[in-house]
Structure 1
Amino acid sequence: MFTGHYGGITAIDYDSDQGLVASGSLDTQVRVWDSGSGECKYTISGHSDIIRDVQFYDRFLITGANDGRMRMWDLSLFDSVQPRPSTKIMREEYVAPSRDGSGLCCENTFVGHKDAVTCFQASYGKLISGGADKTVREWDLSTGQLRQTIDVNWATKDSHSTRVAGRNLASAPVAKRGTDEGDGGFIGALQFYDFALATGTADGVLRLWDLRTAQAHRQMFGHSQPITSLQFDEQTVLTGSLDGTAQLWDLAVGPGPADINLWAASDQGAGC
């Protein structure tokens, strides 16, 4: 058991190779734990608002928060005395490496989103983030360049995807930053693989994008509340929403999902 946060846990990741667990919280802190002993190795206080996502990537830990920033912490510097100078600029505006009192060096800060960073994923040299500023941003981790910014409102209106009357993303009812518990937001969840990107948004719509054209080529309607999580592979997409359902989409068959009603399962005493 890992105890120490002063607020609810909003994000978590596990690195089995290093034997480390990272957790982010409503208390604005990120903690790094030894998975074997449960010892809190470091408390990172480098953000000023709710932590929305954490992810181990190579020797780094990447964190994102409602303060609009993503920060990359070099885990190889756990026991070093002086921070190692960074030669990479991983953002639109350079922010020098710094320590926050945890003993970890913040190698880089990704500055670009104009509001809360609600979700991100780093994989294969690429970082993609979604924010309350209604944009998806793609960063190249090998060069440090911001490759593109996708305005979700504009791109959706301009796409050739199927539209359903009354499902306007701009007028989605939930606050663009998500709930007070750190769930959802204008872009509540995303995942990418190669050039394929899936996003779940505050209007309850699952959108599939081609990163080469920055266009949404497919929209899938089923949720009545914001999407807060998703996972996909070659054949299916699984989405979770504040409407209390998880929906499994078969990409080969068509737009209709298979519903998993979590509220109903709870009422009937079903457990996981």
Structure 2
Amino acid sequence: MEKHRRDESPSGLSDIIEQDGLLGTGLTSRHIEAFGRKVTSTAGHLMGPSGDSTNNAHYHNAMVGIHRELRRPNTQRKVFSLTQTTPTDLVRSKLSTSEIQSRAVCALPDELLANIPDDSSSYSLFEGFQVSQEDREYRKSHRRRTSKNKQLEDGKSAGGLPSSPDGLKKERETHNRRLEMMGVRKNMCSSEIHDIDNKIANLHNMRKIVLDRLAGLEMDEAELENELTEIDNKLEDIQEEPPETPKTVDTPRTFETSDNSSASGDPAMDASFMSESIYQKLPSASPKPIKHKSTRKRSMPVLHEHFEPGSMIKEIEAHTDMVTAMDFDYPFGTMVSAALDDTVRVWDLNAGRSIGFLEGHHASVRCLQVEDNIVATGSMDASIKLWDLSRVRTVSRSSHTGRHEEDEDDVFSSPPSTTMEDCFVHSLDAHVAEVTALHFRKNTLISGSSDKTLRQWDLEKGRCVQTLDVLWAAAQATSLGTESQWRPTGRTPDASADFVGAVQCFDAALACGTADGMIRLWDLRSGQVHRSLVGHTGPVTCLQFDDVHLVTGSSDRSIRIWDLRTGSIFDAYAYDKPITSMMFDARRIVAAAGENVVKVYDKADGRHWDCGPGVGIDDEQGPSSPNVERVRLKDGYLVEGRKDGFIGAWTC
């Protein structure tokens, strides 16, 4: 009892505090009380009458006591520890470690609390759990009741008594209760669906934010790529400067001889002869092919891959007449386009602006190809010209005197910043009619012309090394009976179509599509047709092959997929109008089929869909968009050229 009283007294409480210390600092109540008494007495003497000698004695004694207490090292350490203790430490001293961890886990930042959806459910989580639990119990009781009712029915049929009213009332109450529980569960399902919708909306917002971040990163990446390219080009120029000096005299002299030989009146010598590499026209230390200053990106853009298929990326008012040919190196890279307005323009797809013109042909360009920095163009003037885009030079506005940029009223003109004058490399002149198809790989270029020949060019020597006569090959095959069994009687080539519609080469393999509907596979080593594929009933306008398949498009309004291993048709599908252009990548085949949309075929699931400016436009409601004439596709990045000269870029 005595102990209990002591514990309840202030002195007992002070003993308890003295054992643990106040707020974990080591100070006990006794120290605080002693310090408080001294401060109280000191304040009383200070506020007391100034002339009382007793107060002065008390003040002197109090100050002596305070000084004596403060001189103790233990008291000084405790006071210093209290002054250095932060409020956070004071709170932590009163909380256990487990409680601190629990509060830290439960704490949420304001960013997460801002997106908490409103709770539209009128039932709690516990009620939902109770409903589910009762549902299980009801199913068990229902099974027991069903078996019991079956036994009662059997007894009734055997002469037993019917169910009592109390049993029926109880069963009615059970069914009513279950009906209420179903209402609760329905409400909870509706709330869950609403919650999922909110999450989907938040995810869409997050996706948009990340896409904007990705777009910014790709813009910064493009700027860094340009800076790195400029630095690399400057380093290459510095390394090439010493050997350039002795070459400045010899290089023009070599081509002066070549020009004089062409002026002597021998067109054959002018068409096929060249003593040294065409790349000697460029300042280089070696007579071998030029070491191109690469503008290839070190990392490819991926932004377009995350957009919905069929989304427009950019639309360019490129030409004033129908686009006849175009090609680009990689998504958001460099594009070259040609049209019937007799212009060949170079574009920066990332900025959507024109870099300059490739001037030199005397007629419209019908076909072209872009491979890294090299561009090959085939024209209606029967010539093929090679261009090196790495030689584009930046010039000031005052020094640029191009005729296109001088016209301020030209809707296509832009502030002049580059010149393409030094991009021309060489002209290949051997065909006697317009060049309608070409393809080059490494140092070999194959061209097809309306003169009914294919020519193989050596780009190192700048001369034609082999001429393939298509009519002669067809006549030989007919005499041997290899094509007569496939060729329908009475079919004649379409005079309005290009005789050579498309070509593609790979090492010694060459595929060629012609106006008689035949696809011929040539062996360039022997100059003979290795195999002929028959199936089209109209001129072949486009083709492309990979390791396994060959895809061809024709004026007969069909696209055919051939198996190169067997030479048979793997798949085929038709459209309403002739196919003018086609290309495929790993996932899709795109085609221009005389409509205002691009026809897309998914190879994986066999699905057909439309992409382009005419999607969603009804001809009855308004004027339709111009027809798409040319398509190019690389890595899901689709570029289409139209009849009115516009060019659009899309995700595909």
User: Which segment drifts farther, 242-251 or 46-55?
Assistant: 46-55
Give the TM-score taking structure 2 as reference length.
Answer: 0.35
Letter in 1 for 2:387: W
Selected match of 2:523 from 203, 206, 210:
210
Matched, 1:75 2:389: yes
Selected match of 1:195 from 502, 508, 516:
508
Selected match of 2:548 from 235, 251, 257:
235
Contact 2:392-2:420 within 8 A present in 1 as well: no
More RCO (CA 8 Å, sep 6+): 1
d(CA) in 2 for partners of 1:149, 1:253: 28
Selected match of 1:116 from 428, 431, 434:
434
Contact 1:161-1:219 within 8 A present in 2 as well: no
State the partner residue of 2:361. Answer: 47
Give the 5 Å matches for 1:217-256.
217-256=530-569
Closer, same or farther in 2 for the Cα pair 1:210/1:75, shift >3 Å?
same
SS at match of 1:2: strand
State the partner residue of 1:64. Answer: 378
State the partner residue of 2:107. Answer: none
Instruction: Map Cα deviations across residues 207-241 of structure 1 (whole Å, 9 max, x no partner).
Output: 11111111112111111110000011222110001
Aligned sequence identity (%):
37
d(CA) in 1 for partners of 2:571, 2:394: 51
Contact 1:12-1:21 within 8 A present in 2 as well: yes
Letter in 2 for 1:133: D
d(CA) in 2 for partners of 1:80, 1:37: 16
Unpaired runs of 5+ in structure 2? 1-314, 396-418, 578-592, 600-607, 611-652
Contact 2:345-2:358 within 8 A present in 1 as well: yes
Contact 1:197-1:209 within 8 A present in 2 as well: yes
Letter in 2 for 1:186: F
State the partner residue of 1:24. Answer: 338
State the partner residue of 2:424. Answer: 106
Matched, 1:163 2:483: yes
Matched, 1:127 2:445: yes
State the partner residue of 1:88. Answer: none
Closer, same or farther in 2 for the Cα pair 1:119/1:241, shift >3 Å?
same
d(CA) in 1 for partners of 2:555, 2:363: 22
Instruction: Map Cα deviations across residues 47-91 of structure 1 (whole Å, 9 max, x no partner).
Output: 23232112123432211111111111221221178xxxxxxxxxx
State the partner residue of 1:260. Answer: 573
d(CA) in 1 for partners of 2:481, 2:378: 30
Q: Which has the higher helix share?
A: 2
User: Which segment drifts farther, 215-224 or 193-202?
Assistant: 215-224
Matched, 1:174 2:495: yes
Contact 2:375-2:388 within 8 A present in 1 as well: yes
User: Which segment drifts farther, 42-51 or 197-206?
Assistant: 42-51
Q: Which has the higher strand share?
A: 1
d(CA) in 2 for partners of 1:247, 1:112: 33
Unpaired runs of 5+ in structure 1? 82-100, 179-184
Letter in 2 for 1:10: T
SS at match of 2:390: helix
Deviation, structure 1 residue 164: 2.7
Matched, 1:11 2:325: yes
Contact 2:438-2:446 within 8 A present in 1 as well: yes
Letter in 2 for 1:34: D
Deviation, structure 1 residue 167: 5.7
d(CA) in 2 for partners of 1:157, 1:129: 21
Give the TM-score taking structure 1 as reference length.
Answer: 0.80
Closer, same or farther in 2 for the Cα pair 1:256/1:61, shift >3 Å?
closer
SS at match of 1:40: strand
Letter in 2 for 1:144: G
